A and B are shown apart, each in its own frame.
Chain A
């Protein structure tokens, strides 16, 4: 199909994409979806969520939907990059940002993707035990994640494997290594 060909050519560039909602493999409402149009209806939303669940299968767990337009799920570390790629390229969601937190025993990175056409925000949770503190970097598949992963490394101390430029971003040049300000109980030099 024409859209598939165009999509493949564009995938070679740094910013590859048409929203892939118009592909032939979509659900029953594929005929109604046209690339670039807004389909903010309840049925469109449910279709996309079903499609997302089908695509991710057993790689995702712990699905939560606190609001009609928000879904949260957890993925294992090994699957994080592949699931990120699927959400970014196969579903065609836009990467928004990521949040890093210290949960006590674990460190968590929460990636937020937005499907503007249907009004859905997809949140992908990845966790790592604090002793290891490493996660696979999403930057090779989602180039826009580069800076937010550097920021998470500076502030929470998560090391992202496969990151092209793991340098300091927002901490000052004379900030000591190994001191992560947003970890629980991070010592403040002022006491």
Chain B
């Protein structure tokens, strides 16, 4: 079914629908994600739509350090997202724990958590605390160009 796979990938690249997951963030990254949808950056013109369910998503925007409580739930959300799926680790906390790396509630950086479920997951890393909206758009554009 190479044609169907190509079609799915074409749909993902042309218009990635995103589902936002906050795994314990301070909300700063979440506010910057919200800014992407405002008229100044307006990612909807690029086809990016914020969807209410992981079942409709092409990409997961994951912010926050992954706490013990959310770890199995993040893995469940990843399993529920139809593949091909992009996991975007947004911000220093999602990448490596940021300043909370040695905290008692830290349960692993997001890419380890996702790779436990799917070793071949496509993961995008966008550093920053919080990342600038321009950085987020650039990161996603680079990732989509490589697909």
Q: Interface on A for B, CB 8 Å cutoff?
A: 172-175, 181-182, 186, 188, 190
- Report whether A186 and B68 are in contact in the complex, using a CB–CB cutoff of 8 Å: no
Q: B102 contacts the other chain (Cβ, under 8 Å)?
A: yes
- Complex CA gap A82/B68 in Å reads 39
Q: Which of B67, B104, B105 has the largest count of A CB atoms less than 10 A from its CB?
A: B104
Identify which of A173, A181, A182 contacts B69 (C-beta below 8 A). A173
**What are the interface flags for B69-99 relative to A under an 8 Å C-beta threshold, 1 for contact and 0 otherwise?**
1000000000000000000000000000000
Q: Which 4 A-B pairs rank lowest in CB-CB distance, beginning with the nearest?
A: A172-B69, A181-B104, A172-B68, A188-B104
- Provide the residues of chain B in CB contact with A172, threshold 8 Å: 67-69, 105
- Provide the residues of chain A in CB contact with B102, threshold 8 Å: 188, 190
* 14 A-B residue pairings within 8 Å (CB atoms): A172-B67, A172-B68, A172-B69, A172-B105, A173-B69, A174-B68, A175-B68, A181-B104, A181-B105, A182-B104, A186-B104, A188-B102, A188-B104, A190-B102
- Provide the residues of chain A in CB contact with B67, threshold 8 Å: 172
- Provide the residues of chain A in CB contact with B105, threshold 8 Å: 172, 181
Complex: chain A residue closest to B108, CB-CB: A190
- Complex CA gap A190/B104 in Å reads 9
- Provide the residues of chain B in CB contact with A182, threshold 8 Å: 104
Quote the shortest CB–CB distance from A174 to chain B (angstroms): 7
- Complex CA gap A111/B68 in Å reads 29
- Complex CA gap A175/B107 in Å reads 12
Complex: chain B residue closest to A174, CB-CB: B68
Quote the shortest CB–CB distance from B102 to chain A (angstroms): 7
- Complex CA gap A190/B105 in Å reads 11
- Complex CA gap A47/B105 in Å reads 45
- Complex CA gap A35/B59 in Å reads 55
Complex: chain B residue closest to A188, CB-CB: B104
Quote the shortest CB–CB distance from B62 to chain A (angstroms): 18
- Provide the residues of chain B in CB contact with A186, threshold 8 Å: 104
Complex: chain A residue closest to B104, CB-CB: A181
- Complex CA gap A181/B69 in Å reads 15
Quote the shortest CB–CB distance from A184 to chain B (angstroms): 13
- Complex CA gap A182/B102 in Å reads 13
Known interface pairs A172-B67, A172-B105, A181-B105; 11 further A-B residue pairs with C-beta atoms within 8 A, sorted by A's residue number: A172-B68, A172-B69, A173-B69, A174-B68, A175-B68, A181-B104, A182-B104, A186-B104, A188-B102, A188-B104, A190-B102
- Provide the residues of chain A in CB contact with B68, threshold 8 Å: 172, 174-175
- Complex CA gap A186/B68 in Å reads 17
- Complex CA gap A173/B107 in Å reads 14
- Complex CA gap A147/B96 in Å reads 30
- Provide the residues of chain B in CB contact with A173, threshold 8 Å: 69
Complex: chain A residue closest to B107, CB-CB: A172
- Complex CA gap A173/B71 in Å reads 12
- Complex CA gap A154/B69 in Å reads 14
